[in-house]
Structures are given as C-alpha cells and as structure tokens.
Amino acid sequence: MTRTWTGSNGGVDWTLTLDRDDLLPGRLVGGVLRATARKPVDARGLIVTLRGVEHWRYEVTTSNGKTTTTTVHTGREDLPALPVRLTGPVALAAGETRELPFELPGPPLGPPTVLAEDAGVDWTVEVKLDREGGFDAGIEVPVRVHQPVALLRAGVVPVAAFALYESASGDEDGDLAGSAELDPVPLAAGSAFTGRVTLHTASPVSVRSIRAELKVRVEATVGGGLKQTLTAWSETIAGAMSIADGQAFALRGVLDADVPPTVDLPHGRVSARFELILDRPLRPDLRLGRDVAVATTLEL
C-alpha cells in the first residue's frame, strides 16, 4: 500500500511517498521525494537511506560491599545502512520545488523488524540534505522489513530441528504423547492457520479444559540479557471431558500482524513454540509442545 509522509525541517517542506512501507529483503521499493524550499538552500546532495537499529535489554549488578544493586540497561547498535544518492550538489531558491523519483533496496537478508521490549529491530527511511558546515535537514519515517517464508525455508535463518515440519511429535509429559500438525509451515504473522493435534495416552485422562497456545520467546543473548515470552495466540479447544487414546482436535486461528518473527540477531534471538495445555482437576497440568517458526509474510 502506498504511503505518504509530510514534514518541515531545515527550511524545507518535505513530502515522501513510498510504494509500500513494508519492505521485502533484497527487493527494490519505489518512491518519490518532493522538497520545497522556504528559503534559499545549498547542499552537497540529497540522500535517502534505509537505517536499522537493533536494541536489547540487560541487567548490570553492582555492589559496594554492603548493598547489591541491579539496574536494567538498553544496548543499541546500528545495522549496515543502505544509502541512495539522489543528487549531487543542489541549490534551491526560496519557493522552488524539486521532485525526485528513486528506488531503495531492502536489506539483502534482513534482519526483519522485531517489535519487542527485551530484543528487537526498528527500521526507518531517512531523507537528508547533506550540508557542509551546517545542520543537515530532512525527514525520517518508520517502515517495516519483513521476514519472508522463503528465507526460513531456505535455511538462511536458523530454526529448531523440527520447526519447519508440517507434522511433528510433541514432547512427552508423563503418560501423554502425541503430534501436532500445522498449516502453513512456517506460520505467518497476520495470516490464518489450521492444524490438528492427536493425543496418545495409556489410560483415559480427565480434564477440565484443553487450551492451545503459540508462545514466542524473545531474549537478549548477552551477559545479563533479559527475556520475555509473548502469547501470540491462545484458544480453548475443548471443555471438560475424558481423553481416550488417539483423540484428535482441530485447530484454527489467526496470528496477530505484530508477532515477532523467528530470527537470530547479533545480540538477540526470537523463537516460537506451540503448546497444548491439559487442565486436570486437583492435579498438575499436562503439556504437549513442539517448535514452530514464524514468518511475517507469505509474499516471498
């Protein structure tokens, strides 16, 4: 979907239009920049740049011999920028307008946008008038970089051993075993999915309910790194019943569009897991789980 942003900065009125604000790795996105000078402007050039910033949270513990204090810090690191020079030296008279079409490349292999607190990635498109000996002027807007299904299937992004299998056996819990089948694989944020869970047990199991969940784990992979678990989807698929061997349950749902995708970052990691929780009266819950992978688009 075409997006347009406007703003004023450095004596220039800016209008930036992109053919889409969700970028695909390795694909060009078209755009048009319109700059109208409010006063005379001289610069070494106009540059449009795709910029990414990784962030992660970690704890630091200090002690003075009497008390111990733990504080949370946020680390940040710029990802390789992708600049495109639109012009050489440029001079605009007051009231003059310059309109420039361009194509901006998406990052070849990502990383994708990750919207999470303890580890994540944010991307922006920055337009800048590069002024010598003065403050640069420009506009900066947020965009999203996708994690396509193709990168996960091609093995470019590390995933758990059976995360890309349509059907996989779940981890056994006591006498409970089974398998979980999901379609599509990998799952895609913002898209529908279906599935089927088949349970095996040596004897009938009485439950108050059965709940299916998709959990996404986000962690900073640094010393003292923090981690969080997000519930991307949850649904009660059965009420009180007695489960017999070979009992099967159908699954159907839609993932939220902002679910963080499966990815390894320089300072973080995102992984996903499907879980079936059997709520038993007066006894610990039984759980059956398998690894899954999450993309953000089925487009590529």
Where in 79-226 does DSSP place strands (E)?
Answer: 82-85, 90-92, 97-105, 119-130, 137-145, 167-169, 176-183, 187-188, 192-201, 205-207, 209-220
Q: Rg for the chain (alpha carbons), in Å?
A: 25
Give the pLDDT confidence score for residue 32 in this predicted structure.
Answer: 97
The dotted CATH code for 151-295 is: 2.60.40.640
User: Do 3-53+80-146 and 151-295 show the same overall fold?
Assistant: yes
Question: Does the pLDDT at position 208 exceed 70?
Answer: yes
Within the chain, where are the H helices?
149-153
**Interatomic CA distance for residues 131 and 143, integer angstroms:** 25
Give the pLDDT confidence score for residue 134 in this predicted structure.
Answer: 67
**Interatomic CA distance for residues 183 and 190, integer angstroms:** 14
Question: Does the pLDDT at position 221 exceed 80?
Answer: yes
Residue ranges covered by each domain of the chain? 3-53+80-146, 151-295
Q: Which CATH architecture has domain 3-53+80-146?
A: Sandwich (2.60)
pLDDT tens digits for range 24-46: 999 999 999 999 999 998 889 99
Question: Does the pLDDT at position 164 exceed 70?
Answer: yes
pLDDT tens digits for range 283-299: 888 888 999 999 999 88
**Interatomic CA distance for residues 287 and 256, integer angstroms:** 23
Omega into 111 within 30° of 0, i.e. cis? Answer: yes
Give the pLDDT confidence score for residue 174 in this predicted structure.
Answer: 72
Angstrom CA distances, 75 to 119, 192, 221, 222, stand at 9, 35, 12, 10
Give the pLDDT confidence score for residue 140 in this predicted structure.
Answer: 95
> What is the pLDDT averaged over residues 140-161?
92
> What is the pLDDT averaged over residues 10-18?
94
pTM above 0.75, yes or no: yes
270 neighbors 216 (Cβ within 8 angstroms): yes
pLDDT tens digits for range 226-236: 999 999 999 99
Report the amino acid identity of residue 202. A
Mean pLDDT (the chain) is 92
pLDDT tens digits for range 243-283: 998 999 999 999 999 999 999 999 999 999 999 999 988 88
Give the pLDDT confidence score for residue 226 in this predicted structure.
Answer: 97
Give the pLDDT confidence score for residue 1 in this predicted structure.
Answer: 79
- Give every CB contact of residue 224 below 8 A, 6+ residues apart in sequence: 58, 59, 60, 61
Question: Does the pLDDT at position 136 exceed 90?
Answer: no
